[in-house]
Amino acid sequence: MGDPSRFGVYGGRFVPETLMAALKELDHAFRTIVPGEKFQAEMQYYLHEYAGRKTPLTFCRNLSRDLGCRVYLKREDLLHSGAHKLNNALGQALLAKMMGKERLIAETGAGQHGVATAIAGAALAMQVDVYMGEEDIRRQALNVARMKMLGARVVPVSSGSCTLKDAINEALRDWVTNVETTHYLIGSVVGPHPFPTLVRDFQTVIGNETRAQVMEKEKKLPDAIVACVGGGSNAIGIFTPFLGEETRLFGAEAGGEGPAGKHGATLCRGRPGILHGTYTYLIQDAFGQVLESHSVSAGLDYPGVGPEHSFLRDAGRVSYHPVTDQEALDAFLYLSRAEGIIPALESAHAVALARHIAPGLAGDDVLVINLSGRGDKDVAQVAELVGDAL
């Protein structure tokens, strides 16, 4: 066993000394409380009875016919809250509660993780403060209202670029200040150790279910799996049980405006560096100043990525590709019309990449797309963007 805080050279704990005690406390709780019977029993209750697991693996007749292989969707869009984020929010909130913390803080970009944390806080009777960039608050009014209705406080962030990156900075600053009473419920497989491992473990339920469901239906493992990658939690969640198998794994990054324009394709177009406590691929300038990312999908609009993805990229185990805003919008409408399922714009990136790789698959090959969330939150934005095309 190497250093548990690292994935190859990536990961680590690049945080102010003041936070180290909290990270060590969390790491200890993660290793002692989570495997215990009490935690596991509670978690089963919340995942199954409360959140609605397991989520279906839907065989898509129309997509399969159109794409020329056997296409399945893993339906995280049908999870309570409408996205996979709740798996992690419930897990961490329960852990924080059992650690004796009274308050949860979270960052959110599109608002999905903020909503998931607000739900977990309501269910577990914990105070929730969600940091959100002013720019994102303006873009995601629906989710802001949802968080407030669920009893959370939404704290506007006006520093830096006023988006997700700055919301994480502000949440870290809050945590440094209130470290004794507060748990920072980070929303993706990013940040300092143990967060990338902790969040991965809570999201691996997606991959474990998928594996059993595909085996049952197809009597074999899937040939290919596609997921979108912002921070990368839904992708890690579905990839993990297949890392040791032959299954080909594909990550769809935010290609944004395309090769010449602004983007969020950290793994495809970035270079390693340190942001938010971890060594990982970043979108940055020559001197190490982190640059603003761009994506039509707020959930993929992040200049970093989970350190385990950086490792999987370098190892060649997962193949990452940029998907442009336009391709994602096309895929959004394509899935809506072909199957009657409106995907989140994030998940639409995975659908778009699946359309690219399907021609390379055989007719009886099994392709799984992780549909990480539903698209209700994006309906107004897409209607505005595509306009007459509707």
Partner 1 sequence: MISRIGDAFSHQKRPLLVACLVAGDPDREVSLSLMREAERCGADIIEVVMPYSDPVADGPVMQKAMQRALRAGMTPDGLFSLLRDFRTSSGTPLLILTYANIVVQRGIGAFYRDARAAGADGVAVADVPLEEADPFCRAARESGIDPVLFVSQTTSPGRLREIADRASGFLYLVAVLGVTGVRGSLNAGIGEYLGKVKEVSPLPVVPGFGIGTPDQIRELARAGADGVIVGSAIVSEVERTLGDGSRAREAVGAKVRELASALR
The two three-digit tokens of residue 39, written as one number: 């935690």
> Is 60 designated active site?
yes
Span near partner 1 by CB under 8 A; candidates 6-14, 81-89, 205-213, 243-251: 6-14
CB 166, min distance to partner 1, A: 8
DSSP label at 291?
P
Q: How far is CA 373 from the centre of its chain?
A: 10
The amino acid occupying position 74 is K
Both tokens of 249, joined, read 């794994």
How far is the C-alpha of 220 from the C-alpha of 214, rounded, in Å? 7
Of the candidates 27, 331, 351, the one whose C-alpha atom is nearest the C-alpha of residue 197 is: 27
Total of chain residues touching partner 1, rule CB under 8 A: 38
* Residue with smaller CB distance to partner 1, 133 or 251: 133
Q: What are phi and psi of 242, to 5 degrees?
A: -110, 0
Interface pattern 111-150 for partner 1 (x via CB under 8 A): ----------------------------------------
Q: Identify which of residues 213 and 266 has a Cβ nearer to partner 1 in the complex.
A: 266
Interface pattern 262-301 for partner 1 (x via CB under 8 A): -----------xxxxx-x--x-x-xxxxxx----------
Type of residue numbered 354: A
Give the three-state DSSP class for 156: strand
Is residue 155 close enough to count as binding partner 1 by CB under 8 A?
no
Window 9-48: residues binding partner 1 (CB under 8 A): 12-22
Site string for partner 1, 162-201 (x = CB under 8 A): ---xx--x--xx--xxxxx---------------------
Paired with 318 in beta bridges are 249
Q: Is 84 a catalytic residue?
A: yes
Minimum distance from CB of 277 to partner 1 (Å)? 7
Active-site residue identified among 69, 84, 162, 294: 84
Give the shortest CB-231-to-partner 1 separation in angstroms: 15
Task: Estimate the crossing angle of helix 307-315 against helix 195-218, to 10 degrees.
Answer: 60
159 binds partner 1 (CB under 8 A): yes
Nearer to partner 1, 5 or 240 (CB): 5
Catalytic residue among 60, 69, 228, 268: 60
Burial class (CB in 10 A: 0-12, 13-18, 19+), 75: middle
User: Smallest Cα–Cα separation from 109: which of 149, 141, 136?
Assistant: 136
Other Cβ atoms closer than 10 A to 215: 12
Quick one: which of 142, 74, 114 has its CA closest to 379?
Answer: 142
Strands (E) located in the chain: 6-7, 10-11, 57-59, 70-75, 103-108, 127-133, 153-157, 182-184, 224-228, 248-256, 271-275, 278-282, 318-324, 366-371
Question: Which C-beta is closer to partner 1: that of 287 or that of 384?
Answer: 287
Q: How far is the CB of 359 from partner 1 (least distance, A)?
A: 40
Nearest CB to partner 1, comparing residues 14 and 50: 14
Shortest separation between residue 155's beta carbon and partner 1, angstroms? 14
Q: Which is closer to partner 1, CB of 40 or CB of 177? A: 177
| Smallest separation (angstroms) from partner 1 to the CB of 281 | 12
Looking at the Cβ atoms of 23 and 369, the one nearer to partner 1 is 23
Contact set with partner 1 (CB under 8 A)? 5, 12-22, 159-160, 165-166, 169, 172-173, 176-180, 273-277, 279, 282, 284, 286-291
The residues that are catalytic are 60, 84
